[in-house]
Structure 1
Amino acid sequence: MIKVGIIGATGYAGQELVRILLQHKKAEIVWYGSKTYIDKKYYEVYQNMFQLVDADCMADNMEELADKADVIFTATPQGLCASLINEEVLSKVRVVDLSADFRMKDINIYEEWYGIEHKSPDYIKEAVYGLCEINREKIKKARLVANPGCYPTCSTLAIYPLLKEGLLEPNSIIIDAKSGTSGAGRSPKVNNLYCEINENIKAYGVASHRHTPEIEEQLSYAAGENLYVNFTPHMVPMNRGILVTAYGNLKKQVTYEEVKAIYDKYYKKEYFIRVLDKGICPETRWVEGSNFVDINFCIDKRTNRIIMMGAMDNLVKGAAGQAVQNMNLLFGLKETEGLQAVPMFP
């Protein structure tokens, strides 16, 4: 059994890690870390865990945890993992960080967009970006995995194949994205109150959202050159889900069959990526509670642009599910272990 420690187990992504790992045949949670609920029973924080988890919440002590676990998940705000990580920890245990601390290779970009000093820049180069379908072989050998952000996961997977195959004008990409409110985390904020969110949809982080440089970096790898995107996220009044609609200029005229063949080249053997039938648009309700990403596209011949669409659960494939997928790769397990839950409906 893989012994798992979770730092930040009482946030939404942390709780989702617990939910998934309780159904994992090869994993055992040995540490439920929480800064806010130390010594409180975990099920008292999340009543859905009553009679499933009897453990107490423990402090975020990574060095002590490294002696007890085989892998540590850090489902914490930006800056915490970078302040805790060191060579002693990494010599004992593998770390999957769900924050943005190690996602971007340029420390200056990280510090500019997140507004904090990076506490362990020496490990940025070593960290492997944990987008499993693209970096699978590198992840298997890693000590430190940077679990991707939710918007970057959905955006990159929807766009990556067409950029990689040279079909898109790199600097023409516009990404319009919608997310459920769980993406804002569990900490109380006025903007997340029921009366502020219900019966409302709003853009936020316009031309300034912190996931922008992460998306640009990953798509730049695909394009083979540096590129910039327009990325606008929106909050919608639902608990879970992300819907991405991205637009790009085509370099040449293409048929549906040609584009479909490209997506099939990259994703036909990927269990968690479902390229939908012609004319079917991805919807968040068909992936809720699962690790699936539904993808499709539409060619607009009138404007010579292509519309790329993706839908996924922001807490599963966008956070905890992908983190467990990374863990499975790290330990040589079947990649789908613990992650084959059928999407919930209604």
Structure 2
Amino acid sequence: MEKIKAGVVGATGYAGSEICRLLFAHPQAELAAISSVSFEGMALSEVYPAYYGLQDMVCGTQEEVVAKADVVFAALPHGLSQELAARCHSLGKAFIDMGADFRLEDEEAYKEWYGGTYTDKALHEKAVYGLPELFREEIKGKKLIANPGCYTTAVPLALAPALEQGLIETGGIVCDCKSGVTGAGRKPVQSNHYPELNESFTAYKVANHRHTPEIEQTLSKLSGEAMRVTFVPHLLPINRGILATCYGKLRPGVTEEQLWEAYRARYEGEFFVRLLPKGQVANVKNVHYTNFCDVSLFVDSRTGTFIAISAIDNMVKGAAGQAIQNMNLSFGLEETTGLVLLPPAF
């Protein structure tokens, strides 16, 4: 089989460069072209010296990426993908958007949270939401895929079995999440300046984060009813990782064993979701550089509180790895191709 030619727009950002790193070891895909507004004309290895001698491709233009690629990964800020997606669609190219432009089904929600509009409503209707463990059959063979964000991957995977089986109340769910600083992107700002970040741990965008409507959209589909959650993200002084601790109330009569049975049944056969043994707690260290999502379950029997904790690498399962997982599904490849990576032990 001829290798899939992949192009990355925005290749010098953290998510874009991570796609390039993962594609390097993909047996059935190869990097065909990359672009970067900030570093056009420079080799990727000049921006990221770790790639020296291995990934020395020079950053060109978006037009070159579209011309050379079978699939285009757009690692761009929100608002910049719609025109590019339309161009790829007209040429029959697959398009995987790492930004927010195609994630929300409701244009009014997009206007409220991102301040934009849908420039091509018909094109938006063709987009599918790319969280494979939950929407695999919808993704297979599709050419316009909205790749979820990091929090919006970690939270639904923590809660999916409990909501699908109606084991917890849909009201009052709290999603208490922590992220490594790479989630803020490569462009430096005061809050991720070393003296500000080091020895620090703080919440941000409390009850006002743009991932909120995306989380609620997915959870509503899982539960079959409109849902609202309390979502509070925090910034950790680490490079990588998302830890999502989600709290909900057990429905009357639900036992801890029922929860475990639901999670075992739901995630049996899911290579990238590792349901941890009772008593073990998900830790971001154990998923570094991989596409795994570790999930641990607890019940506070005194208060009837359900607690699900998930851990992912925000740059892999929360971004680039999931994008490649979606590419594999789009092109009919084994879903795990190029993504079977053993986490570092320390």
Class of the TM-score when normalised by the shorter of the 2 chains: over 0.9
Q: Is the 8 A contact 1:73 1:96 kept in 2?
A: yes
Unaligned runs of 5+ in 1: none
**1:204 counterpart letter in structure 2:** Y
Unaligned runs of 5+ in 2: none
Give the C-alpha shift of residue 118 in structure 1. Answer: 3.4
User: Deviations for 1:174-195, whole angstroms, at most 9, x for unmatched residues?
Assistant: 0000000000000121111001
- The aligned residue for residue 53 of structure 2 is 51
Match of 2:294, SS? strand
Compute the RMSD of aligned alpha carbons: 1.2
- The aligned residue for residue 319 of structure 1 is 319
After superposing the two structures, state which structure 1 stretch, 45-54 or 237-246, moved more. 45-54
Give the C-alpha shift of residue 67 in structure 1. Answer: 3.0
Match of 2:81, SS? helix
Give the C-alpha shift of residue 256 in structure 1. Answer: 2.8
Match of 2:210, SS? coil
- The aligned residue for residue 20 of structure 1 is 22
**2:265 counterpart letter in structure 1:** K
Matched ranges for 1:149-188 at <5 A: 149-188=149-188
Q: Is the 8 A contact 2:244 2:311 kept in 1?
A: yes
Match of 2:62, SS? coil
- The aligned residue for residue 273 of structure 1 is 273
User: Deviations for 1:22-55, whole angstroms, at most 9, x for unmatched residues?
Assistant: 0000111011111100001111011011001222
- The aligned residue for residue 40 of structure 1 is 42
TM-score (norm 2): 0.97
Match of 2:261, SS? helix
TM-score (norm 1): 0.97
Q: Is the 8 A contact 2:88 2:95 kept in 1?
A: no
User: Deviations for 1:257-293, whole angstroms, at most 9, x for unmatched residues?
Assistant: 2111101111011000000000111000111111100
**Is 2:12 the counterpart of 1:10?**
yes
- The aligned residue for residue 251 of structure 1 is 251
**2:23 counterpart letter in structure 1:** L
Q: Is the 8 A contact 1:148 1:318 kept in 2?
A: yes
User: Deviations for 1:140-185, whole angstroms, at most 9, x for unmatched residues?
Assistant: 1312000001001000000011111011111121000000000000
Matched ranges for 1:260-339 at <5 A: 260-339=260-339
Q: Is the 8 A contact 2:250 2:305 kept in 1?
A: yes
What is the alpha-carbon distance in structure 2 between the residues aligned to residue 87 and residue 51 of structure 1? 33
Match of 2:109, SS? helix
Match of 2:65, SS? helix
- Residues 125 and 106 (structure 1), Cα distance of their counterparts in 2 relative to 1, 3 Å cut: same
Q: Is the 8 A contact 2:141 2:332 kept in 1?
A: no
What is the alpha-carbon distance in structure 1 between the residues aligned to residue 104 and residue 89 of structure 2? 21
What is the alpha-carbon distance in structure 2 between the residues aligned to residue 21 and residue 90 of structure 1? 25
Matched ranges for 1:75-90 at <5 A: 75-86=75-86, 89-90=89-90
How many residues get paired? 344
Give the C-alpha shift of residue 88 in structure 1. Answer: 5.8
**1:23 counterpart letter in structure 2:** A
Give the C-alpha shift of residue 20 in structure 1. Answer: 0.5
**1:68 counterpart letter in structure 2:** K
Q: Is the 8 A contact 1:8 1:75 kept in 2?
A: yes
Q: Is the 8 A contact 2:8 2:65 kept in 1?
A: no
**1:70 counterpart letter in structure 2:** D
Match of 1:52, SS? coil
